[in-house]
Copies of this chain bind each other. A is one copy, B any other.
């Protein structure tokens, strides 16, 4: 870490900071520039002492050199992580397609969708039972009843399932019914939840927070990995910006960037990112070409009557058309499904 002193810092302040660095067990390496002095602190234990040094007299700023994550880093594990659960294989050159309704509403809707997406080529079924909603007056999901319907659809189609868990308390309950536990964007820094899903032996589908930097996203994954669960799938689902023409702003550039920085697989959710049905197919295809290891898309047999996220849900024929195109792209890119 680099301690940048202010231009006018006194020799005493510089001396003080050198001693502080050494008291923290680091090696201090001062460099006297033409306008400022900086002190390189070697042996750093990541973020740990940063704020402490930043409070020192005459200090302008601290520049960290190491990222706040380690196990998630490709520097530590060179080969790509592949997450496998039944027909869902995500990572390296494997592409997963997770499709299904935003919310599980009833048996018929869930089964109809599950069968249709399976037939079209999806490799996993999504469906929300616990729903985070901005307003307390919106539909909050069927809860355990929804999980049961999802599990039934899984048994009938053979598709593994992905569903959101909203609290540490419910991890065990959700894990009883579903194959992959989703941590939603609003919970990306719910650290108790992260630790709890880090302790189970099922894959975790971690969505990027609305205003999370890439570094915070990987640090959130690190919470799960640090507990011993290495089966983490990252998901870019759009960030919040000033632009309101789309529901969020899909930050697709993080796909190739995450592949450089981390060994974890990265999946894209164009449904939540765009919020508009017509934008989902082009962004799904763009995500795959950008290198995503999979996509998650919302599909509903009758979006106009969906209890949530109708405007961004593909119809079943719309999903079938997308899958035809994705298969062509995969063939073209040489991906295995």
A residues adjacent to B (C-beta < 8 A)? 2, 4, 7-8, 20, 29, 31-36, 38, 40, 42-48, 51-52, 54-57, 63, 65-66, 68-70, 75, 132-138, 140, 166-169, 186-187, 189-193, 210-211, 213-216, 219, 222-223, 226, 239-246, 249-257, 260, 270, 273-274, 276-279, 282-283, 285-291, 303-311, 313, 328-329, 332
Report which residue of A36, A191, A329 has the largest number of chain B beta carbons within 10 angstroms of its beta carbon.
A191
Residue of B44, B47, B133, B190 touching A190 (CB-CB under 8 A): B190
Within the complex, what minimum Cβ distance (angstroms) separates A40 from chain B?
Answer: 5
Beyond A257-B245, A282-B290, A305-B52, is A66–B167 a contact (Cβ under 8 Å)? no
Instruction: List chain B residues, Cβ under 8 A from A273.
Output: 253
Across the two chains, which residue of chain B brings its CB closest to A305? Answer: B52
Which residues of B lie under 8 Å from residue A305 when comparing CB positions?
52
Which of chain B's residues have a CB closer than 8 A to the CB of A240?
A: 211, 242
Does A191 lie within 8 Å of B133, measured CB to CB? yes
Give 24 A-B contacts (CB < 8 Å), ordered by A residue. A31-B42, A34-B42, A35-B66, A46-B135, A46-B137, A52-B307, A55-B277, A55-B304, A63-B63, A68-B137, A134-B216, A169-B192, A211-B240, A211-B242, A215-B245, A243-B251, A243-B254, A250-B253, A252-B252, A253-B279, A256-B278, A260-B278, A282-B291, A286-B286
A226's partner among B7, B136, B167, B286 (CB-CB below 8 A) is: B136
Query: How far, in Å, is A221 (CB) from chain B's closest CB?
Result: 10
A189, B310: Cβ atoms closer than 8 Å: no
Listed from nearest, the 10 A-B pairs whose CB atoms lie closest are A211-B211, A55-B310, A68-B135, A286-B290, A286-B286, A186-B189, A214-B245, A54-B311, A256-B282, A55-B304
* Chain B, residue nearest A184 (CB): B189
A249 B244 Cβ-Cβ under 8 A:
no
Given pairs A52-B306, A285-B290, 13 additional interface contacts (CB within 8 A): A31-B31, A31-B40, A51-B306, A133-B191, A167-B190, A213-B245, A241-B249, A244-B244, A245-B254, A246-B253, A249-B249, A286-B287, A332-B332
Instruction: Specify which of A51, A216, A222, A332 lies most central, judged by the most chain B CB atoms within 10 Å of its CB.
Output: A51
Bound CA–CA A288/B286 (angstroms): 8
A34 to B26, CA, bound (A): 11
Residue of B nearest to A247 (CB): B253
